[in-house]
Structure 1
Amino acid sequence: MRAALVSAAGQDPALAETALPKPAIGERLIRVGAAAISHLTKARALGAHYTDSGRFPFGVGIDGVGRLEDGSRVYFALPRRPYGSMADFTVVDARLCVPVPEELDDLTAAAIANPGMSSWAALTDRARIKRGETVLINGATGTSGRLAVQVARLLGAGRIVATGRNAGALEEVRSLGADVAIQIGEDMDNLEQRFAEEFAKGVDIVLDYLWGPSAESLLQAAATKGFDAVPMRFVQIGSSSAGDIMLPAAVLRAKAVELMGSGGGSVSVPRLIAVIEEVLQAAATAGLQIALKPAAFSDFDRAWPQDNSACRTVFTMDTEGPA
């Protein structure tokens, strides 16, 4: 069978032939239909994620959509290493599979599950969102951030503030449900002023996909200009701008701030799988949107390096291929 494999440290994954995996007790063999590139997938492929095992070769891809031996269609997550989801077949713990609603096609389900889960779990399990609260999404112009705007609205946010670098993309985010759009640029003084204006009105939850300077400005604005009666839950999800920030101790003393992360280590895997099932149901019934670009699995070596944050690349496998 075909599989996308990383053969050595520092090398991009490449399509190769490998043996068909055999399921162990409690596992299911899945004929993969579609699998999307995610930030986590790329970080693991580069050996730059905290869950990296350091063993080669290994398959890339953390989740996807496929069919079990009985023909039922499922979303699946976390194939047993060294296997990945970007392969004709993979093996997965049976508890990490959930049914895909009939209304959702393979491409949409594969594209929306992981980023939808990240914002859904951050808002429900970590921030404990209440209807009518104000949510600020830092980094709302990528695929995950755009979906977070829609999820926040679906979960009852009363007001949504979106930030991003691209002015045109921010206007598109408005059409998805954001009430306010703030452009992140080189003028940090102006950015801090805009943040201060929003915090003066009251911000209940921040979903941060960027970290770095904009996160520093947000926390500083919350401490110095925030509405005192509104405690703030700051949920760190991604770090596409930087891996570290400078956090003055006074920020945490000056404001009732709950600073937390949301991810595989802070929310249990069974709960994340349950969240994904909720996301897929919402995608089928509420029309959640995500930008995606289909790519034939046979074209993996060319399509992998062309992936970008504006549109999710989803590989489609030949589900009638050889076993």
Structure 2
Amino acid sequence: MYAAVVRSFDHPPRYEEFEAPRPGDGHVLVDVLAAGLHPRVRSGAAGTHYTSDGKLPLVPGVDGVGRLPDGSSVYFVAGDDVPGTMAEQALVDPRRAVALPADADPVVVAAAMNPAMSSWVALRRRISFRAGQSVLVLGATGNAGQMAVQIARRLGAARVVAAGRDADRLGLLGDLGATETVSLAGDPEEAAERLGAAAADVDVVIDYTWGEPTQRAMPALLKRRADRSAALDWVQIGSVAGAEIALPSFVLRAANLRILGSGQGSVTAAGIVAELPSLIAELPSLAVSARSVPLADVESAWTAPAAPGTRLVLTPR
């Protein structure tokens, strides 16, 4: 078969022949219809994701849409012990797959599920989120952040504060469910003050930034909370602004701050898969921007600038 193949962590995947995987241990071989080029896929192909084992060569791709031997289509999450999904064929563990409606667009599903899953699983599995609560999405102008704004509202958030740096994309979030927006552009201290003033009393923070924005935002929010004993769940999902923060001890003592993460390992594979049918049912109500690229063009697509808000999806042709 043909696949995107990584032979060096310093070079994008190349389109080349690769041995087709052989079904075994309950796996089924499917024809891949679409596989999303997510940030998680990029970090895995670069060997920098926390789950990377450093072994080469590898086929990247963590999920996709595939056609089963009986002609039906499924969305599936790839196992850690099988080749990735950016190939003409892939192995599917039926326990990690969910049937798709006959009219589902494989490209849209492949583009949306991974970024949408991050906030959906966080709000449904990592915390006890209740309808009527308020949410801050930190890093709301990214693909996953844009999804998080919509999903928080779909799950009953009464108020969603969206914070990000991209002014154009920030301006679009009101139509997607944000009740307020906060710019993180400009002077970092001033941005933190704006954020603290707007979002001090939220119940949940969905954080895709980490790094300096989070380091400044935490004390800015907590100092302004009307009731510091009211619980604030800070859910760390992404780290686009940095992998580490300095956390002053007073932040943990002076307020009821609960910091936790949501990602691969913090939720079981079975727990994630259990959420997929309800998320798939919501996809038609979510705004999704996707662009399909032939698998043969993976090397150029990997390095080409992507349009803001658009997720690239690789297809067999």
Q: Please indicate the TM-score interval, normalised by the length of the shorter structure.
A: over 0.9
Find the residue that maps to 2:171 and give its secondary structure: helix
Give the Cα separation in 2 of the matches to 1:190 and 1:9.
38
Structure 2 letter corresponding to 1:274: A
Q: Where does 1:130-141 land on structure 2 (aligned, <5 Å)?
A: 130-141=130-141
Q: Which residue of 1 aligns with 2:286?
A: 288
Asked if the contact 2:30/2:66 (under 8 Å) is kept, the reply is yes
User: Aligned-pair distance for 1:80?
Assistant: 5.6
Deviations 1:125-146 (A, max 9, x none): 1132111111000000111111
Give the drift of 1:167. Answer: 1.1
Distance 1:135 1:128 in 2: 13
Contact 2:30 2:92 in 1 (8 A): yes
Determine whether 1:203 maps to 2:215: no
Q: How many residues align?
A: 315
Query: How much does 1:92 deviate?
Result: 2.2
Residue in structure 2 matched with residue 16 of structure 1 by the alignment: 16
Report deviation, 1:56.
1.1
Q: How does 1:268-283 map to 2 (within 5 A)?
A: 268-283=268-283
Runs of 4+ in 1 over 3 A off after TM superposition: 79-82
* Distance in 2 between residues matched to 1:246 and 1:25, nearest whole Å: 45
Gaps of 5+ in 1: 319-323
TM-aligned CA distance change 1:251 to 1:5, over 3 Å? same
Q: Which residue in 1 is equivalent to 2:52? A: 52
Moved more, 206-215 or 17-26: 17-26
Task: Indicate the residue corresponding to 1:212 in structure 2.
Answer: 211
Q: Is the 8 A contact 1:199 1:221 kept in 2?
A: no
SS state at 2:172 partner: helix
Equivalent residue, structure 1, for 2:152 = 152
- 1:321 aligns to what? none
SS at match of 1:90: strand
Q: Which residue of 1 aligns with 2:222?
A: 223
Partner residue in 2 for 1:301: 299
Distance (Å, rounded) in 1 between the aligned partners of 2:191 and 2:19 = 53
Determine the C-alpha separation between the residues in 2 that align with 1:218 and 1:102. 45
Share of identical aligned residues, percent?
Answer: 37
Residue 79 of structure 1 and its aligned partner are, at CA, apart by 4.3
Unaligned ranges ≥5, structure 2: none
Moved more, 78-87 or 238-247: 78-87
- Alpha-carbon displacement from aligned partner over 1:201-257 (angstroms, at most 9, x marks no partner): x21000000001211122102321112153100000000011111110000001101
TM-score, length basis structure 2: 0.95
